[in-house]
Each structure stands twice: as structure tokens, then as C-alpha cells.
Structure 1
Amino acid sequence: MEVSIKKNITFFLILFVFSVAQSQNTEKQEPLVYILNAIQKAYEVQFNYAEDSIEGVFLEPPAENLKLKDILYYLETTTSLTFSMMGDGIILVSPKIQKMTFCGYLKDNETLKPLVGATIQTGNNSTITNEDGFFEIKIDHISKPITIRFLGYKTILKQFEDLSTTNCDDIFLIPNVQLLSEIVVSNYITNGINKINNGSYEINFSRFEILPGLINNDVLQSVQAFPGIQSVNETVSNINIRGGAHDQNLILWDGIKMYQSGHFFGLISMYNPQITQKVSLRKNGTDVSYSDGVSGTISMQTNKNINTNFKGVAEINLTDFSGFFDVPLSDVSSVQIAARKSINDFLETPTYNAFFDRISQNTEISSNLGSLTNTNEEFDFYDTSLRWIYKLSDKDNIQLNFINVHNQLQFNENATVEGEEASRESRLNQNSIAGALHYDRLWNDYFKTALEIYETDYKLKAINVNLLDAQRFLQENIVSETSVKLKSNYKVNELLQFLLGYQFIETEVTNLDDVDIPRFRNLVSEVLRTHGVFSQIAYRSPDNMTNLNLGVRYNYISKFNKSIWEPRLSFNHQFLNHFSLDIQGEFKHQNTSQVINFQNDFLGVEKRRWQLSNNRDIPVITSKQISIGLNYNNIGWLFGIEGFYKMVNGITTQSQGFQNQYEFVKSNGEYNVTGIDVLIRKHFNKFNSWLSYSYMNNRYLFKDLEDDFFPSNYNVIQTITLGTAYKWNHLKLSAGLNWHSGKPITLPVLGNEIVDNEVNFGSTNASNLIDYARLDISAIYDFKLNKKAKANLGISVWNVLDKENQINNFYRVNNENIIETQQSSLGITPNAVFRVHF
């Protein structure tokens, strides 16, 4: 009993002491709102808070003479609140919460593609997106701002609560400080081919499916699917855009001007399809940052994103085998490497033999007769490509490109000379090697600069032996070009942007003709330097229905003291929901062209050599062009019609490939083209079908030769392409018919074919070859090899009906007799491919 009473007394004494102490402590505490008011006055700051968040919070005032940061630390450690400096003397007061995770998939707002290597940062935490555009980051506090950056896109800076997603949703970035361009017609012909509102066309090979006769993404074969673009001899080294010659096309690979187009001397593109992601095609209304190419521009691009996971592709078909690797070097750098090699070292396939027979047709490889025989005929090609990207920072990006392309043809010429067997080798080499540096700097959300430097070198060399005359003929054609371009984009607002830039181009062209017996040597080397200044305005209406690109380029050629002004226009307006109007116009010039001195130059396989303008008998080529188009796009139907007029001055007879009375005549002139391009396309169920039609009237005027206009060598009056594609699960099928009217030719005068031992030609280009027709089919099947690898198996047949099409003919006098020589297109040519993605 006494023990129990003592325990109770002790307990009440302890409770009394604690209560007194607590009472004394409470007397020293004050409401937090009083304390914050006192701090505001003493330190000239402003606290922002919700009243309910600090209601009922008491604590002892912080000690006097403390620094502000120490006071805030004290408040945070003694309350369940956080105190965050927001700038300009503002302190945000908010409840403490547990750390959270913020995640999502970052994508391009236009293409919906994942953005790889983008930076997400909050407080002291940061991360980058992976190959799928996915990221995950810890958030310290709900009030901490989150920054999302990616080069070339508008930066996002928001609070966590404004971005918070519960299921790692998609987050879209908007391209920043770029010309206001976007897709106005998707799947223009087939999947992956789009029409852009600046008048250009885009082939996106990551979404590209299939075209008739093609099982590879052959760049220069694919662009011939567009109306107004064709090849009069079905090669990629003779692409004619609206009636222009091939040398009037500006061909760019990641901004590098290329002077060579194909392997097999034009039967397939020399640009590896695995590393080429996009192709931009412009027939008119070219961006002012581009020079050269009076007929059109074909611009190829590699992937601009940094890959964080290894990717590879291995492929073999009936002409070559190739490999492609996309290798991440770090979180901010990756490299792409592609290589391709002809297959004939291991196997001569029917496709390879058909290609070889086609390029050697009517050349010295196949024309030696009688006592001369050719043996050991070999053809070989390879190409290598490289693209390296390094992200210096969120605002700086460096890219390096390299390409090396090689074609080699050789054969032995055999004969009995003075009773002894003799043999000598003739050889033809064609090579391109080029490299480029790109540096992009995003200064802020409104201003961006880009520096582009490239060096491109092209060499064509032939050694042609003549055993019977004991003669060796050496020919060389070398082009070396250096370019430096600086561009700046300034975005005034979301509707208006300005482009300003400067470009310097130095081009050197060397031509050599060297004969050993009798001794003759002619070496000509010339250099031209051109300065270009350009400016362009891009406007988009608030409703996004009207787009305008208007600019001008000023060029100064120092050697000739020559100034050239080039205005450019591209206008697109959408109206009545499904209609759009396009207007394009441009002035352009170019200083280089290809000429044919003799039809047997470079063994007759490659007859064209590059030359520079001299402002006299080889003028600077200039062009003017305008086009107006109308499109209707609704419920799977697309109707498009475009009329155009183009005038090109400064061409020479040697650049046009005459094989009639003007073959050896040197004269300057012009040509003009009037025409229309029509496209009809329909998507229905699993089918996609299209019909394109082109009409043009292409005429020369050489005043020194004839008083009036006469048909151009490229005046293919009508062209029709009919195609269809079908997709079912993993199988893709395509078939297409290509038809065009025959190429113009000049016939000898009937009954009086020979005069003075020369062909007596009639009216120039007054006749035509028989109409050209070709049916192609192709099929590709996609399947998985395992969880990490997939494969494609494809087959195609070019010219299924094996129709013999004439693509050229010419006449010669031999022993007082007139001889007609005809050149034929490829016959039935199968191809097959097996491709593995890993």
C-alpha cells in the first residue's frame, strides 16, 4: 500500500515538472505566420504559401543574426514544410512530400518518332532518353521545375504537377528554329512518301514499304516514281527532271555535292540504302541555301538521332552483299557504318550478267571483232559510308560524314601482232571520296546556327589500248570541290522565321588526254570560286492553312566578275477542307556541266566528263521556272495536277549527247519546257494504287545551227506509270507498268543517206523510237528469326514480259554503207534479297 502511494506521488511529480517545462517552452513559441512576416521585413523577401498549409504551426523564432539560408534550413528541419528560393526574392512554402518518379516517352510532335538522347533534368537529378524515347527520373519535390531539352526542339520547362503522368505517357517536343514546313499529303504515292508544304517531296525509308521491281531502297530508282521524273535510258546516271539533263540535277548526300550517281555505271544507286534514311526531292521552289541544279535537287540524309543500343543489318542479293552497323559510343555519341561489295568475286548470278551485258553494249568491251578478241572481262564495285554524331551539350551538336565509292572495269585485248600473240589490259576506274563536318548550335529557343564544311573529289580514269596500232590512250576527268556554308535561323514567333546565310564554293576540274604514239598530251585544269549570300522568310498563318517561303540568293563568281540574283518562291494554301494550291518559282544557275567529246571516250562505257564554265563558249547555265498545282485529298483519294514552264540558257551541244549532224559541232543555246504532271492515288482496304501521267513539250534553240526551235534529245512527250501495292500481315506485293513515248531521233534522208562519205541526216529529232513499255513485279516477306532479330526475304522481276525496248540508235558510215546501231534496255532481270536486322 505505501509502495503504491509512493509510485503515484512520483508519477504526479514527474508529470507536474514536465507540464511546467512544456508551459514555459510554449510561451517561447510563436505562430509561423508571425515569424515569416518578421523575416520578410528583416530580409526583404516574399513568402508564397497557402494559408491552410501553415495554419496551427508554432515554433520558436530562429536565433537573431542568422543568414537567410540558415533560417530557411532551420524552418525546414523544425516543420513539415519546405522553403524553396524561386528567384527575385520569392520563397515558395509547400508541404513536404516523399520523393516521386517521373517517366514518359519523348517523341517528335510531327513524325511521332522517339527522340533518343534527350536530356531531362530536375534539381540535381538528370537522365537521357533511350532508343525508345523512354526516361525515368526521381523528383525531390513537387515544386521543383523539370527541364526537357533536345537539340533542334523547343525546350519544355514546367512544374512536376503540370507534367505528371500516371502511366508514363507520351510527351511531345515541337521542332524549334526550323523553317515552317510540315507534311500536307502523307503517303503521297505509297507509304513513306510524303508531300511537304514547301513544295518538296520526302521519301522516309524508315516507313517506306515497296515499289514495283524494287526490293531495296534504291534512292535514285525510287525518285523516278514521281511524275515528271524519268530516265531516257533507264539508268540512275541519266535522270531527267522535267526534261533536263542529268548533270543539271543537284545531288546531295548529307549536304555533300556528289558528282557520281551509280554503280554498274548507272544501273543501281551508289548510295547505300541502309544508311540513307530520308530523301528530299525538289522540282521547283528550291530553298535559297542551295546552289546549282537548274533542273532539280535530290537531297539524301542519314539518321540525325543518337542511338543508345547496337543495331545491325546484313544483306545479300544477286548483285552485291552489304552490312550496316549503328554503334553507340556513349550516351551522347553514336556512329553508323555501311559497306557494300559486288558479288561477282564469289558468284556470277544471272542478274549480274544481265547488268554487265547492258553496260558493255555497243562499247569496246563487246565490239572488237576479227583479229581482236577480248578476254578476262571483269567488273567490280564497292562503297563505304560513315556518319558520326557527338552531342557536345544540350545546345551543341557535331556530325561527321564520309563516303567512298569505287567502280572498276577491266578486260584484256588479244591479237596476233607480227606473228606473235600479244595481250594488253584496258581499264576504267570511277571513284568518289568525300567528307563533311556539320556543327549545329542552338543559342536559345529563337536562334540557331549551322556550319557545314565539305570536300568532295571525283575521278574518272581510263587506259585504252590498241594492240594493232601499238597505242595507249590515257584519259582522266577529276573534280575537286570545297564548300563552307554558314546558316542562321531566327524565329520571331510561332508564325514567322528568318533564314540568313553565306556559302563559299571552290571547284577545280582537270581533264587529261594522253596518247603515247604519236606523242600527244593535253592537260587542262580550271578553278572557279563562287560566293553566295542568301536570305529567306518563312510564314505560316495562324490557322496553319497558308505557308509561304520567299527568299533571294546573290551569287558572285570572282573569276568572271559576274553577279547572279536568284529569287525563290514556295507557296501553299489549303482551302475547302480537302483542296490545296501550290505555287513555286525559282531562278538558279550552275557552273559545271558534263560533255561528250567522243562517243568512245572512256571505253564507250562512260562517255561524259565534267567541265567548268569559262563564260565564253561554255557559259554559266541559268534557269527560270514557275509551276502552279492543285491537289484534292479525301477518303483515300488523291488527285493532283501541276503545270510548269522552265527555260534554261547556256547549254552546249556537247552536253546534250547529240549523235547526228551536230555530234561534233560546238555551239551554245537554250531549251524550254512546257508541261503538266498528274497523279491519281487511291487507298482502299489493303490495296494502294496510283496512276501518274506527264506531258511535256521540250524544245532546243541553237541559233548558230537552226533558225527555229526543234525537239530536245530528252523530249519524251508522254509518260504513264501505273502501280499497285498490297499488304497482308507480313507480306507485301507490288506490280507496275511503265510506258513512255519513244525518244527523239534523227533519221538519214531516205534514198540519199550518204553524202561525201558522211551520213546525210534529215530534220533534227523529227522521228521517235518505238514506245517504251515495261512491267515489273516485286514481293517482300517479313518474319522473325528470334526475339532480337528479324529478317526480310524478297524477290523482284524487272521487265517481266521480256520486252525488247530500244533506248537509243545512231547511224554511221562504214565502207560506203550506212550502219544503224541500236541499243536495247534490260531484258527480263530477276533479283532476290535476304536481309537480317539484329
Structure 2
Amino acid sequence: MIRPLIILCLLISTFAEAQTPAYTISGTITDQASGEALIGATVYDYISGKGTTANNYGFYSLTLPSDSVRLRYSYVGFQNQMQSFFLKVNVSVDVEMSGLTELQGVEITSTKDNDLIEKTQMSTIDVSLDKVRDLPVLMGERDVMKTIQLLPGVQSGSEGSSGIYVRGGGPDQNLILIDGVPVYNANHLFGFFSIFNTDAINSVKLIKGGFPAEYGGRLSSVVDIRMKEGNTKEIHGEGGIGLVASRLTLEGPIVKDKTSFMISGRRTYIDALARPIIRAQGDVDGGYYFYDLNAKINHKFSDRSRMYLSGYFGKDRFFAKDSYNYGSGNNLQEDRYEARLQWGNGIGALRWNYIFNPKLFSNTTVTYSNYDFNIFNESSSKYIENGNPVENYSRIEYLSGIQDWSGKVDFNYLPNPDHYIKFGGNYTYHRFNPGINRYKEQSQYAREDTTYGSSKIYANEFYLYAEDDFKISDRLKINGGLHFSGFAVESKTYFSLQPRISGRYILNENTAVKASYASMAQYLHLLTNAGIGLPTDLWVPPTADIKPQLAHQIAGGVARTLKKGYEISLEGYYKKMNNLLEYKDGATFLGNASDWQTKVETGEGWSYGGEILFEKKTGKTTGWIGYTLSWTDRQFENLNNGEKFPYRYDRRHDLSVAVTHKFNDRVDIGVVWVYGTGNAVTLPTERYLPAQGFNTNYYGDVGYIESRNNYRMPSYHRLDVGVNLHKETKYGSRTWSFGLYNAYSRQNPFFLYFSSDRFGNTRLTQLSIFPIIPSFSYNFKF
């Protein structure tokens, strides 16, 4: 399928060149200081009025008539570069751009620079890494997912969580990619931090709707994170020391301008800080920590061929051990206990870039991804009975996870400036472990070693896609494509043809209207235990009885640039979702030997609303204000009497303000204020005594629940403030960062429960976990 498409593209290219006297300018655009690809850099010819952008590897291609050309290469935060010459043959022009020393000096010099107006794709935001570094966050740990939460259409889960809920979707409906490889769990510390080390990131893109055909497999969003490739010029490093974790990133050339490396690590020391306190309470030893490790090597074989080898490894581990002796002499007994909870990701990717000709670029990738979750509990006792040594032993373990092997190939074909064609395909072999319980017991009374629960499931998934971003006129531009996918599991094979289309029409030089439609299919389900606060969510596939998730989303909006550096966009959307899964009432991931399919219900979902994003991108003061008005509902035949109910994270109003101000080269501040309608929760509306004959002291009152998610928590709002103090040193630079999370100590609800006062009256009580929290960190570069 792919080979004929390559031949067809080459034939079209040859025919086009034979018919018109046109030639191609192509090459790569990189950072002069590091050699990093400048993803999305723009190339514009003043004479013809044509332009293009660099892809995820910095490659660009621009075909123009044989004539004089005057090219401008531009990228936010970098100095523009100009190239002028007469185009009479195909020419390769590699450009190295230098950064601006004063960011506030960046000016929008033409509407042609305005991506907001020019781009066909809507509902897409390029996340500024400067904002990720400068805005205040919990415990001072820079976190790209916390910054994404501040954007319209995106909601956080519980207080302090790094999870995202996009346009009414669940956490499983976000396609989170590291260098193109899906990540199945992006959280550390029970969701309070994400797995992404900002120091190792090159670029971040969020797509909420109008999905290009190259993306598939999820319903609600794409978070496309590209890691640094490694400095090809000289050795550099950066890192930081904070309240809960430290990090270090090193990068540099192995062979200058040809082979480079990047390695980045982060680890918490919560366990080291807490262990003396825990041990002071007795013989218990325990703690918690997490770590991340990113590594990449890239090698340039030639101007046309380059290879990358990258990996990510991360794990969270909570553990506790206890041992004690009692008795003496022949009556001495020794008891030991150990418990462990751990989860983590392992990802590897080998990719090869090859430029077939100045118009055709390819990327071939082989990847491995593994996510596993493990609960372990072991106890033993040793003693003397009737003069004989006796040992009792028991072990309980719960395992779940998902493992993937995948291969894909992607092509970018640019026949002329009015068409940007992408096509490719992917195959993935899945191994699901939805939940295995292992139990082992050994004593003088019993011996048992058994495994029960859901059996492993093996599945095959593939997709093919093609899309074209084509310019119909100076005002009208369309991106149309198809994404065809299939999933074979057990004796069932599912297929899905997903059309995608988006377009923009320029009303005037400062205003454009946009619209999009996207059909999406998702062949993975995440069974979520709401409120547990642990990573006990299970990834499961569709089966002969459980169908894939489906969604249709339409969106429309207006984008406008105001005066220099100001932009505003307004979008409305409607999304319908089918084949969503929920646990049955009372069911959990644990339990007996029953299969997970017997514990779930299938239903529908709706989400619709409007979003406003107002941004200031230049000057000493920059930032944005985002507002979302939305409605999100669910409906299941056998839940809530078959009636619609609000989704737990249905939030009517969501407002965020994120601002940074640079006083001078040494001092800047960041301020974040957020407000949101309270989450929906399920609470009983009446309480009564149990049936006669029950012990009321043991069972307590019985609550009557009228409907699911029938109550709203109090509204949520919070102010965060941070100050960064910079200084250039002999060996590089250093930054002291000080922050206040929840600066006015708002008692936001984390959990609601019923309690009794001293008079025996029942009342609803709110649990809040984060008052005002100061933080500091020391960051450095060399």
C-alpha cells in the first residue's frame, strides 16, 4: 500500500516539474547554538507570496517558479534570517537561526507571520516552554501538564492533580505522545506530578479538536511532546534542586555536527526525608519515591539520512516493611510484614529519517512501550511448637498492565506551496494484562499456590491515513483527510473509516473564521475507580462483547489579531461519544475470579460548550486569559435508572489567568489564578435506620441516593505567585525560584463525607489537603 503511494508521488512530482518551470528549495532549520530542530519554523517568499513550515524534524520544502526569490526564515524567539537569489535549479538551503537576547523585541511584522490566522487547523495550541518554566506550580516542580490545565477546554481532576480532562472526555481519551510513542500513565505521586521533565523537552502541542488524519486511537485530545535531540555543537547541562526532587540534564556532541546525545534524570527524595520519621515510630521501614530517565542518541549519516534512538523509563514505588519479636527462649516468635505498591512506564524508539528528494520526506519508526501496575503484600511468622520449628507464609499480589510492539512509517510530500500532503501507516501488537491475582500460602494447616482473575489478551491494531492541507485561494484553505483503522482481538475484528476536515476563511488581514469535523475511534478502554487516588485504572481492549469507543466532534470559531502582540480566539464545539465504559455499582478492580467484562456497563456521552482564549505574546508582560463554558453528560442503561447524569468532571464555568512580567534581565514574576465550578459528586439525599434486626451501632444509618452525581462541591479557586531571580555566572547561569501555591490559603474541597458532631447530628464535612504552600528551587545551566 505504501510503496505504490511513494511511486505515485514521485510521478506527480516529475510531471509537475515537466509542465512548469519551477524548482524546489529544501533543507533543515535548526538552532545555531544547539543544532536542535526548530519545529514549525516558517519560510516565506516575499516575491511570490508563498510559504511553508518545518516539520517535526526541522525539514522544509518550498517549490517556486524560476525567478528571483527573497526568503524570510522566522521562529518565535529567534532572529529572522533573509536569503535572496535567483532560483534556476533545485537547491538545498540549511539554515541555522540564532536566538534573540531580548524576547520583548520580537515584533509581528506581517500578517503572513500570524499562525493563528494562517493555519487551517483549529483547536490547537503550541505550549510555550518559557511559560512552563516561569509560572508558579505545586512544590516548585515545573510541569507541562499543569500548564496545559490552564488552557480553555482543559480541566484538571482533583486538587493538585496533573491529569487533564479535555472537552468532556476522560483521562484515557488523551493521546499523550513522547517522540511519537503513546504513554499509558503520565502521572507520578498519585497524580500530583506528571512524568515529563521540562528540561528534556523541545516542544509541546495540544490538539483538542479538528484532528489531522495522522493522529488516531483517542477521542478527546492529542498531547504531542517532542524531546530534545542533543546539542551537536558543545557540551551543555541544566538542572535543579527543589523541595521534593532534583534533576539533571546533559547533552552534547559525540562527533561534532554529526552524532549527539541527551540524557536527563529526575528523582524525588521523599523517602530519604521521611524514613527517619517513620523509623522513629518503631521497627517500621518504608517510604515513597519516583524517578524519570530520558535518553536519546541521534546520528547524521548524510544530509538526506538521520537516525535516532531514544528511551524513557520511569517508576513510582511505595513500600513498607515491619518486623517484630515477642516471647523468649523456646517461646520466641518472629513476625515479618512487607507491602509494596509500584507502577511505571518503559518506552523505546528507533527512528530513521530519509529525504527521497527535495519534495518527499519519510520517517520510519519501531517502538516498544510497557506500562505495569503491581500491588504486593507478604507476611511470615516463625516460632517453636512442641519443640519443632514452624514457619507460616502468605503472599498476595495483583498485577496489571499493557505492552506494545509497534512499527510505523510517515511521509511528508510537498508538490508545491498550495499542497502539504501527509500519508502513512502503523501496525501495533498489543498484550493486555487486565488483572491477575496471585495467592500463595504455606503453613502446617494449608498449602496453596494459585492464580486467578482476567486472562491475558492479545490483539493486533493497524491504521492507514492520508491528508492534504491545500490552499484553494488566498482566503480559503482546507485540510481534508481519511484515517482508516482496524483492531483484531479474540475472534472479532473491528474496522473504522474516520473522515477529517477543517478549514479557514480569511475575512480580512486580521480575522479568520474556522470550522472542523472529526470522526474518531478508540480501541482501548480505561476502567477507572473514581476517588481511590491510586493508579489502579486498568487498560482493557474491546472484545467480542465490548465495542470500541467512538466520537464525532464538530467545532467552529473566529480568530483575530488585535494590536501588535495581542490575539483572541472564540470556539464552540459539540461532541457525541458512544460505547463508553463504567464500573457497575459496587464493582472495583479487585475482587473475585470474575472477568472484568462482567463488572462494566456500556453507555453514551455528550459534551458541548464554548471557549475563549485571549493572549498577549510580546512585551515585558505576557500571558493569557482562558474561559470555558461547558456541559458534559453520561447515560447508561443500567446505571442511574437509565437516565442522563452529569459527568464527574462536568464543570460549568472554568476560568484561568496566567501572566508573567519581566522587570529586567534578573527579575521576573509569574501569577496564576484559577476558578472553576465544583465537581459533581454522588451523595445520599435521605438517611434512615436499617431494617429491624440489624445492629445499628455496627451498620449505622442507610443512605438513599436519588441519582448519580446529584450534588456539586463548592467552587474551586486559587492564586499562585512565583518570583524568579536570575544571574549570569562564570560558567553559565543560575535561577532561584520562590513560590506560593494557594497564596490566600483557600480551603478547596478535595473530598466530602458525612460525620457526626458531639450531639449526634449528621453533617456534610469537607476535607481540604492543600493550604498555602511555599516552595523554592535552585536551577542552573552551564
TM-score class normalised by the smaller sequence? 0.7 to 0.9
Aligned partner of 1:527 in structure 2 is 458
Change in 2 beyond 3 A, CA 1:741/1:825: farther
Change in 2 beyond 3 A, CA 1:216/1:379: closer
TM-score normalised by L of structure 1:
0.70
- Aligned-pair RMSD on alpha carbons? 4.2
Inter-partner Cα distance in structure 1 for 2:643 and 2:31: 55
Aligned partner of 2:499 in structure 1 is 567
Aligned partner of 1:610 in structure 2 is 539
Larger of the two Rg values belongs to structure = 1
**How many residue pairs end up in the alignment?**
657
Change in 2 beyond 3 A, CA 1:481/1:584: same
Change in 2 beyond 3 A, CA 1:811/1:505: farther
1:277 match: secondary structure: strand
Tell me which of 450, 459, 478 is aligned to 2:401: 478
Aligned partner of 2:213 in structure 1 is 288
Tell me which of 481, 485, 501 is aligned to 2:424: 501
Aligned partner of 2:225 in structure 1 is 300
Aligned partner of 1:267 in structure 2 is 192
Instruction: Report Cα offsets for 1:363-388 as digits up to 9, x if no partner.
Output: xxxxxxxxx99943401111111111
Tell me which of 745, 749, 753 is aligned to 1:802: 745
* 2:518 paired with 1:590: no
Aligned partner of 1:492 in structure 2 is 415
Aligned partner of 2:308 in structure 1 is 399
Give yes or no for contact 1:599–1:607 (8 Å, CA) kept in 2. no
Change in 2 beyond 3 A, CA 1:699/1:467: farther
* Counterpart residue identity of residue 60, structure 2: Y
Tell me which of 648, 658, 663 is aligned to 2:577: 648
Percent identical residues: 20
Give yes or no for contact 2:28–2:58 (8 Å, CA) kept in 1. no
Query: Shift in Å at residue 719 of structure 1?
Result: 1.0
Inter-partner Cα distance in structure 1 for 2:273 and 2:504: 52
* 2:726 paired with 1:782: yes
Aligned partner of 1:732 in structure 2 is 668
Inter-partner Cα distance in structure 2 for 1:235 and 1:547: 41
Query: Shift in Å at residue 714 of structure 1?
Result: 1.7
Inter-partner Cα distance in structure 1 for 2:500 and 2:63: 34
Which runs of 5 or more structure 2 residues have no equivalent in the other structure? 1-25, 42-56, 71-78, 85-90, 95-105, 109-113, 382-391, 442-447, 589-595
* Counterpart residue identity of residue 781, structure 1: L
Tell me which of 335, 343, 346 is aligned to 2:261: 335
Give yes or no for contact 2:513–2:558 (8 Å, CA) kept in 1. yes
Instruction: Report Cα offsets for 1:455-514 as digits up to 9, x if no partner.
Output: 001111111358999864311112101111111222221111322211111111112112
Aligned partner of 1:671 in structure 2 is 605
Inter-partner Cα distance in structure 2 for 1:238 and 1:206: 21
Inter-partner Cα distance in structure 2 for 1:204 and 1:291: 24
* Counterpart residue identity of residue 779, structure 1: V
Give yes or no for contact 2:576–2:607 (8 Å, CA) kept in 1. yes
Give yes or no for contact 1:206–1:277 (8 Å, CA) kept in 2. no
Change in 2 beyond 3 A, CA 1:631/1:116: same
Inter-partner Cα distance in structure 1 for 2:168 and 2:547: 20
Inter-partner Cα distance in structure 1 for 2:775 and 2:61: 46
Give yes or no for contact 2:426–2:463 (8 Å, CA) kept in 1. yes
Tell me which of 354, 369, 374 is aligned to 1:461: 374
Query: Shift in Å at residue 227 of structure 1?
Result: 0.6
Map residues 212-251 of structure 1 onto 2, 5 A cutoff.
212-213=136-137, 217-236=142-161, 238-251=163-176
Give yes or no for contact 2:62–2:414 (8 Å, CA) kept in 1. no
Give yes or no for contact 1:224–1:230 (8 Å, CA) kept in 2. yes
Ranked by relative contact order (alpha carbons within 8 Å, sequence separation 6 or more), the top structure is: 2
* 2:473 paired with 1:550: no
Tell me which of 383, 386, 389 is aligned to 2:295: 386
Give yes or no for contact 1:698–1:715 (8 Å, CA) kept in 2. yes
Change in 2 beyond 3 A, CA 1:466/1:260: same
Aligned partner of 1:792 in structure 2 is 735
Change in 2 beyond 3 A, CA 1:683/1:291: closer
Inter-partner Cα distance in structure 2 for 1:459 and 1:256: 16
Query: Shift in Å at residue 679 of structure 1?
Result: 2.1
* Counterpart residue identity of residue 578, structure 1: N
Map residues 94-173 of structure 1 onto 2, 5 A cutoff.
113-114=31-32, 152-154=59-61, 170-171=81-82
Give yes or no for contact 1:595–1:655 (8 Å, CA) kept in 2. no
Inter-partner Cα distance in structure 2 for 1:529 and 1:411: 39
Query: Shift in Å at residue 115 of structure 1?
Result: 8.3
Which runs of 5 or more structure 1 residues have no equivalent in the other structure? 1-105, 119-128, 134-149, 178-184, 188-192, 357-371
Instruction: Report Cα offsets for 1:807-828 as digits up to 9, x if no partner.
Output: 3336799xx9999786534232
Inter-partner Cα distance in structure 1 for 2:428 and 2:28: 34
Aligned partner of 2:50 in structure 1 is none
Inter-partner Cα distance in structure 2 for 1:157 and 1:568: 29
Inter-partner Cα distance in structure 1 for 2:295 and 2:652: 41
* Counterpart residue identity of residue 649, structure 2: Y
Inter-partner Cα distance in structure 2 for 1:117 and 1:242: 37
* Counterpart residue identity of residue 725, structure 1: T
The more displaced of 212-221 and 761-770 is: 212-221
Give yes or no for contact 2:687–2:703 (8 Å, CA) kept in 1. no
Give yes or no for contact 1:154–1:175 (8 Å, CA) kept in 2. no
Change in 2 beyond 3 A, CA 1:290/1:783: same
Change in 2 beyond 3 A, CA 1:394/1:204: farther
Inter-partner Cα distance in structure 2 for 1:746 and 1:153: 53
2:246 match: secondary structure: strand
Give yes or no for contact 2:150–2:658 (8 Å, CA) kept in 1. no
Aligned partner of 1:826 in structure 2 is 770
Change in 2 beyond 3 A, CA 1:107/1:804: farther
The more displaced of 249-258 and 423-432 is: 423-432
Give yes or no for contact 1:400–1:437 (8 Å, CA) kept in 2. yes
Inter-partner Cα distance in structure 2 for 1:656 and 1:302: 42
Query: Shift in Å at residue 784 of structure 1?
Result: 0.5
Tell me which of 717, 734, 738 is aligned to 1:773: 717
Change in 2 beyond 3 A, CA 1:307/1:674: same
Query: Shift in Å at residue 533 of structure 1?
Result: 1.1
Give yes or no for contact 1:658–1:713 (8 Å, CA) kept in 2. no
Aligned partner of 1:749 in structure 2 is 685
Change in 2 beyond 3 A, CA 1:646/1:158: closer
* Counterpart residue identity of residue 557, structure 2: G
Inter-partner Cα distance in structure 2 for 1:210 and 1:411: 37
Query: Shift in Å at residue 107 of structure 1?
Result: 10
* 2:649 paired with 1:721: no
The more displaced of 282-291 and 233-242 is: 233-242
Inter-partner Cα distance in structure 1 for 2:754 and 2:400: 28
Inter-partner Cα distance in structure 1 for 2:750 and 2:580: 23
Instruction: Report Cα offsets for 1:14-43 as digits up to 9, x if no partner.
Output: xxxxxxxxxxxxxxxxxxxxxxxxxxxxxx
Change in 2 beyond 3 A, CA 1:750/1:236: closer
Give yes or no for contact 1:593–1:655 (8 Å, CA) kept in 2. no
Inter-partner Cα distance in structure 2 for 1:304 and 1:384: 15
* 2:350 paired with 1:437: yes
Change in 2 beyond 3 A, CA 1:679/1:335: same
Give yes or no for contact 1:233–1:825 (8 Å, CA) kept in 2. no
Query: Shift in Å at residue 114 of structure 1?
Result: 3.3
* Counterpart residue identity of residue 127, structure 2: I
